[in-house]
Structure 1
Amino acid sequence: MNESAADVARLQSLLDRSATKGGPHLRRTFQVPEHAVTAEQLVRYWGDGKGFALATVTANGEPRVAPVGVLLEQAHLYVPTAGDSGHVAHIVRNPAVSLTHWVDDLVAIIIHGKGALIHRESADYPALAEIVRATWWRDLHHARNGAFLRIDADVLYSWAHDPSSFMQS
């Protein structure tokens, strides 16, 4: 988590644009804009990563979902994974993805966008690989099977039960 003021501003711009794109049902259930989370709150909440459900699409157009960890690094989203995972294969064929994270009566986050593979030879890989400390990741990385998915968010919807006190410093 290394967000500069410019990163936070870019994330806030995405949140603001997204708030205008939600349909009537989302705007009602997420109580937009009254219960929206700010970029600063989101950065503090995200910390060193959060668990999400990642949805991808198979070659046959069938939906698939998997639990993943998502890093927020300089206002970009990254999923550490195995290079031979199903969701990597899906994203290479069809980059459309959705992510969701929620804690009942506390927070909800929905992201729709495009995924892109960051393989071991990518310029961004070494710095990202150093961030992840989980044993499962270290094993993949040392076995030369680690990869990342960069998620380029088209929209990011957020909700907090009490945004006035959510992740305040």
Structure 2
Amino acid sequence: MLETPDEVAALQTLLDESHARSTGHLRGIINDERTLSADQLTALLTGMKVLSVATVTAAGEPRISALDGHFLHGTWTFSTDGSSAKARHLEKRPAVSVAHIDAEDLALFSHGYADLMPPGAERDEVESHWTAYYGSSPWSWGDDIRMYRLRMTWAVAYAFKRDELLRARGVTA
């Protein structure tokens, strides 16, 4: 939970605006009783979470794969090796859909752009977090490791039994 108050506010605005412009069908499923706030999300999405990341081939065909994700500063960070098909897709077409789904308990569905993180303070902080979690720097895992930060343009958060989930996981936000 490295989010600043401004980052939490920006995430809440994105969640509210995304939900408001969603279809009636989606709003019927992810209704007011099943949405999660930015504060609740940042409290729930700690540690490593498995992400489904969808990219697009040059022929416009969708591809999905699972990645480790860490929710930091109000968005996902994830990595892959530069030799992967996913890295080639992202280099040419950075638009992605990213979902974290924890059974019916919790989900965050998002669309946006996978921004390659350049060297600097922001990437250093992400490396420090990942290193503390895994016990080694992600850059020690291969010759061409690429770290991305998701720039979300749309996101909705879901909990089938929100109040039960929050109680069970000790979240009071």
Give the TM-score normalised by the residue count of structure 2: 0.85
Q: Give the letter for the 1:132 counterpart.
A: W
Deviation at 1:146, TM superposition (A): 1.9
Please give the residue correspondences for 1:9-158 in structure 2 after superposition, counting only pairs within 5 Å: 9-30=9-30, 32-119=31-118, 121=119, 124-133=122-131, 138=137, 141-142=139-140, 143-158=142-157
Q: Is the 8 Å Cα contact of residues 41 and 166 (structure 1) preserved in structure 2?
A: no
Identical pairs, percent? 26
Note the alpha carbon deviations across 1:101-147, whole angstroms, 9 max, x for none: 2122311211011112225x455332222211365963x51244222
Distance 2:164 2:8 in 1: 19
Distance 1:124 1:105 in 2: 33
* Cα gap change, 1:52 to 1:137, in 2 (>3 Å): farther
Distance 2:144 2:95 in 1: 23
* Cα gap change, 1:76 to 1:108, in 2 (>3 Å): closer
Distance 1:147 1:36 in 2: 32
3-state SS of paired residue (2:58): coil
Deviation at 1:26, TM superposition (A): 1.3
Distance 1:94 1:136 in 2: 32
Structure 1: unaligned runs, 5 residues or longer? none
Deviation at 1:55, TM superposition (A): 0.2
3-state SS of paired residue (1:132): helix
Note the alpha carbon deviations across 1:63-89, whole angstroms, 9 max, x for none: 111101222222232112222222121
3-state SS of paired residue (1:105): coil
Q: Give the letter for the 1:19 counterpart.
A: H
Note the alpha carbon deviations across 1:4-37, whole angstroms, 9 max, x for none: 222211111111111111112211222x222100
Distance 2:34 2:40 in 1: 12
Distance 1:74 1:161 in 2: 25
Structure 2: unaligned runs, 5 residues or longer? none
Which one is further off, 14-23 or 78-87? 78-87
Which one is further off, 51-60 or 18-27? 18-27
